[in-house]
A and B are shown apart, each in its own frame.
Chain A
Amino acid sequence: MDFLTSADFWFLSLTSLAKTIFLIFLVVLPMVSYTVYAERRVSALIQDRVGPNRTGFPTSLIPGISKDFSPFLGGLGQPVADAMKFLLKEDFVPGHVNKLYFWLAPCLAMMPAIVTLAAIPFGSSFLGVKMVVADINVGLLFMFAISSVSVYGIVLAGWSSNSKYPFLGGIRSTSQMISYELCMGLSAVPVLLVCGSTGLSAIVNYQVREGWLLAPFTNGGLSFREIALWVPIIIAFITFTISMFAETNRLPFDLPESETELVAGYHTEYSSMKFALFFLGEYTAMIAGSALIVVLFLGGWHLPFIPDGAGQGGLAFLHAIPSWIWGLVNITAFFAKVAVLLLVFIWVRWTLPRFRYDQLMKLGWLYLFEIALVNIFLTAGILAFTK
Chain B
Amino acid sequence: MSPILFYIFAAMTLVFAVAVVANRNPVASALSLVVSFLGLAALFVGLDAYFIAVIQVLVYAGAVMVLFLFIIMLLNIQAEERRKINVPAYAAGGLVTVAFIAQLWFVLQKFELGKTAFAPLAEKHVDDVRNVGNTLFSTHNLPFQVIGVLILVATIGVVVLSKRELK
List chain A positions with a Cβ less than 8 A from chain B: 1, 3-4, 101, 136-138, 141-142, 144-146, 148-149, 151-152, 155-156, 159, 167, 170-171, 174-175, 177-178, 181, 198
List chain B positions with a Cβ less than 8 A from chain A: 2, 27, 31, 34, 50-51, 54-55, 57-58, 61-63, 66-67, 69-70, 73-74, 125, 127-129
Nearest CB to that of A177 among chain B residues? B66
Contact A137 B63 (CB under 8 A): no
In the complex, which residues of chain B have a beta carbon less than 8 angstroms from the beta carbon of A174?
66, 69-70
List of 6 A-B pairs having minimum Cβ-Cβ separation, nearest first:
A148-B62, A145-B58, A145-B57, A141-B54, A138-B50, A138-B54
Contact A137 to B125, CB < 8 A, known contacts A152-B66, A155-B66, A174-B66: yes
CA of A101 to CA of B23, assembled, Å: 15
Secondary structure dominating the interface of B: helix
Contact A155 to B73, CB < 8 A, known contacts A137-B129, A141-B51, A141-B55: yes
Contact A155 B69 (CB under 8 A): yes
In the complex, which residues of chain A have a beta carbon less than 8 angstroms from the beta carbon of B125?
137
Contact B34 A171 (CB under 8 A): no
In the complex, which residues of chain B have a beta carbon less than 8 angstroms from the beta carbon of A141?
51, 54-55, 58, 129
A and B contact pairs by CB, cutoff 8 A, 17 listed: A1-B2, A142-B54, A144-B58, A145-B55, A149-B61, A149-B62, A151-B66, A152-B66, A155-B70, A155-B73, A159-B73, A167-B73, A171-B70, A171-B73, A171-B74, A177-B66, A181-B63
| Option from A144, A149, A175 in Cβ contact (under 8 Å) with B70 | A175
**11 extra interchain contacts, Cβ-Cβ under 8 A, other than A142-B54, A148-B57?**
A138-B51, A141-B129, A145-B54, A145-B58, A148-B61, A148-B66, A155-B66, A178-B63, A178-B67, A178-B70, A198-B129
Nearest CB to that of B27 among chain A residues? A159
| Option from A4, A146, A152, A170 in Cβ contact (under 8 Å) with B31 | A152
Nearest CB to that of B55 among chain A residues? A141
CA of A181 to CA of B54, assembled, Å: 15
CA of A132 to CA of B39, assembled, Å: 24
CB distance from B156 to the nearest CB of A (A): 15
CA of A191 to CA of B152, assembled, Å: 26
CA of A178 to CA of B27, assembled, Å: 19
In the complex, which residues of chain B have a beta carbon less than 8 angstroms from the beta carbon of A151?
62, 66
In the complex, which residues of chain B have a beta carbon less than 8 angstroms from the beta carbon of A149?
34, 57, 61-62
Contact A145 to B62, CB < 8 A, known contacts A136-B50, A170-B73: yes
In the complex, which residues of chain A have a beta carbon less than 8 angstroms from the beta carbon of B51?
138, 141
CA of A136 to CA of B73, assembled, Å: 36
CB distance from A51 to the nearest CB of B (A): 38
CB distance from A176 to the nearest CB of B (A): 11
CA of A141 to CA of B55, assembled, Å: 8
CA of A4 to CA of B50, assembled, Å: 21
Nearest CB to that of B1 among chain A residues? A3
CA of A148 to CA of B59, assembled, Å: 9
In the complex, which residues of chain A have a beta carbon less than 8 angstroms from the beta carbon of B74?
171
Contact B27 A101 (CB under 8 A): yes
In the complex, which residues of chain A have a beta carbon less than 8 angstroms from the beta carbon of B73?
155, 159, 167, 170-171
Contact A4 to B2, CB < 8 A, known contacts A152-B34, A159-B27, A174-B69: yes
CA of A152 to CA of B28, assembled, Å: 12
In the complex, which residues of chain A have a beta carbon less than 8 angstroms from the beta carbon of B61?
145, 148-149
In the complex, which residues of chain B have a beta carbon less than 8 angstroms from the beta carbon of A156?
31
CA of A144 to CA of B74, assembled, Å: 25
